[in-house]
Amino acid sequence: MDYIGVFCGGFSSEYNISVKSAKNIINNIPSDYTGVLIFVNREEWFVEILGTKTSFNKNDCSFILNGTKTKLQAAIVYVHGDPGENGKIQALLEINDLPYINSGPLASALSFDKWFCNEFLRGFNIPVAKAILIKKGETYNTKEIITNLSLPLFVKPTDSGSSYGISKVLHEKDLVQAINNAFKEGKTVLLESFLDGKEITCAVYKGQKGLITLPLTEIYTENDFFDFDAKYNGNSKEITPARITEKEKIKTENLSKKIYSLLQLRSISRIDYVLVKNEPVVIEVNTTPGFSNESIIPKMLKTKGVTQADFWKEIFSVELKKD
């Protein structure tokens, strides 16, 4: 029997969201594989399979099933945040020569860090927001920040997802607290100029016929921005397909494919934008986008008329193809 491990959990605030995504993926894995949930936390890594719980051996990617040592044939890393979305588990899998369905360690680490990713893209003349980086313990001047970026501005941990630690700052008096909140989620903090426009997102994956984009989604929220509450507690509207012109759609899809190729991504990735004067400006790149039934990509698939099972079947056929 071919066992495929779906890694979930992790060390960040996104543990439960990751578990929801992983369980949904398990329910839609191709029938020639048996899905195995592998829970990752700082205390232990353990496997859940067929109603049983057993330890996971990181040294050789094995576990004990019915008294027999069992090894994985492949893996999907669906840990949102550290140590999955940043590529650490992928590096472990490569050391064990275990095939996996994800972007590699370098692409994952680069995409996960909002500062490094956007600076990389800026080098290829891809439009991103004007930004400033602050490291933990580093001194900064709030007046200089506001002079450079203006108000409102966004404060974000560079290495966290799901909108944890992100603030929209309207007044200088709130900037220090916003920076302190962001440092609770990471060691470096990104300050970005506000982009005034329509927020949209584009999902890209590698299919049998090359790079494929799913229907674009427009994100509208009555909250001040698409924060955690808007994203996961129903305080937003996700409109698929996005209410944009055909020209804007084609421009966004082409830019997304270019970014996917430049970063050497694999499997499914989602790239978030703000349309500013009809031009897509990158907010961030997500190599492990949410995959619960409430998440954006399953809704994109539904709009396109593709089942999640058929989607993963195509991903498997491409990403696990032996050269």
* Domain 131-193 -> CATH class: alpha beta
* Domain 109-126+196-287 -> CATH class: alpha beta
Ordered strands of the 62-65 beta sheet: 68-71, 62-65, 52-57, 45-49, 34-40, 3-9, 74-77
The answer to whether 163 and 234 have CB atoms below 8 angstroms apart is no
Six token digits for residue 5: 């491990």
Report pLDDT for 222.
Answer: 66
Q: Which residues, including other chains, have CB under 8 Å from residue 225's CB and lie 6 or more apart?
A: 154, 166, 168
Q: Give the residue extent of every domain in the chain.
A: 3-102, 109-126+196-287, 131-193
Confidence of residue 66 (pLDDT cuts 50, 70, 90): confident
Q: Which residues, including other chains, have CB under 8 Å from residue 254's CB and lie 6 or more apart?
A: none
Q: CA-to-CA distance for 171 and 199, rounded, in angstroms?
A: 23
- The rounded percent of the chain whose pLDDT value lies above 70 is 93
Reported as a single tens digit per residue, the pLDDT across 68-110 is 999 999 999 999 989 999 999 999 999 999 999 999 999 999 9
Reported as a single tens digit per residue, the pLDDT across 119-129 is 999 999 999 99
What average pLDDT score do residues 204-227 get?
85
> Residue 227's closest CA among 275, 161, 279?
161
**Angle CA 152–158–162, to nearest 5:** 85
CATH number, span 3-102: 3.40.50.20
- The rounded percent of the chain whose pLDDT value lies above 90 is 83
Reported as a single tens digit per residue, the pLDDT across 149-193 is 999 999 999 876 546 789 999 999 999 999 999 998 888 999 999
Give pTM, 2 decimals.
Answer: 0.91
SS3 state at 311:
helix
Q: CA-to-CA distance for 151 and 149, rounded, in angstroms?
A: 7
Q: CA-to-CA distance for 17 and 289, rounded, in angstroms?
A: 10
Report pLDDT for 237.
Answer: 87
Confidence of residue 227 (pLDDT cuts 50, 70, 90): very low
Report pLDDT for 255.
Answer: 98
The answer to whether 263 and 87 have CB atoms below 8 angstroms apart is no
Six token digits for residue 169: 């700052």
**Angle CA 272–255–145, to nearest 5:** 50
- What is the C-alpha radius of gyration for the chain, rounded to an integer number of angstroms? 20
